[in-house]
Amino acid sequence: MNDIRMMVGSTRFSLRAVILCVRDGHLLVHRTAGDNFWFLPGGAAGSNEDTAAAAAREWTEETGVSAGPLRLVGVVENFFGPNEAREHEVGFYYRMDAPPQLPEASFALTDNPRVRAEWLPLDKIHIRPVYPRAACALLALPPGEVRHLVHRE
């Protein structure tokens, strides 16, 4: 299976599947060693792979734990990066309650030990840099509601 990432002119296009994992008023976020920003669990969808399957696959690869039930909460078109390396990402965002076997403390990802997973209090997500910034708005949606957001940095 090939990841859906390609160059379109001078812009890199990708199809991403993301999980907003919540536990006790906290959001699971990732941070690479040395970075001062957080990002959300997930990754590129593969060819012939639907985004829910991609989100569950990426989750298991990253945490070593099977994903629980996923609920689509949004689609985010994210445009970012410097002029010489622009990115256009279409992300499907799924909300999931944290599986009970997931550690409560910070932990290294199973597929990349340089990346740590941390629990960020939901009341701090607007003052800490979690990317893409627009995705955090999806956390407030009531069950059954799905949003389409366009975010340009």
Q: Using alpha carbons, select from 40, 20, 54, 46 the residue that is nearest to residue 141.
A: 20
pLDDT at 29: 96
pLDDT at 129: 83
Burial of 33 (0-12, 13-18, 19+ CB in 10 A): exposed
Per-chain mean pLDDT for the chain? 94
Which domains occur in the chain, in start order? 5-152 (3.90.79.10)
Compare 22 and 153 and report the one with higher pLDDT: 22
- pLDDT band (50, 70, 90) for residue 113: very high
- Average pLDDT score over residue span 116-122: 95
pTM equals 0.94
The CA–CA distances, whole Å, from 29 to 3, 8, 96 equal: 22, 29, 13
Q: Is the pLDDT of residue 135 over 90?
A: no
Residues 80-101: pLDDT tens digits? 999 899 999 999 999 999 999 9
- pLDDT band (50, 70, 90) for residue 133: confident
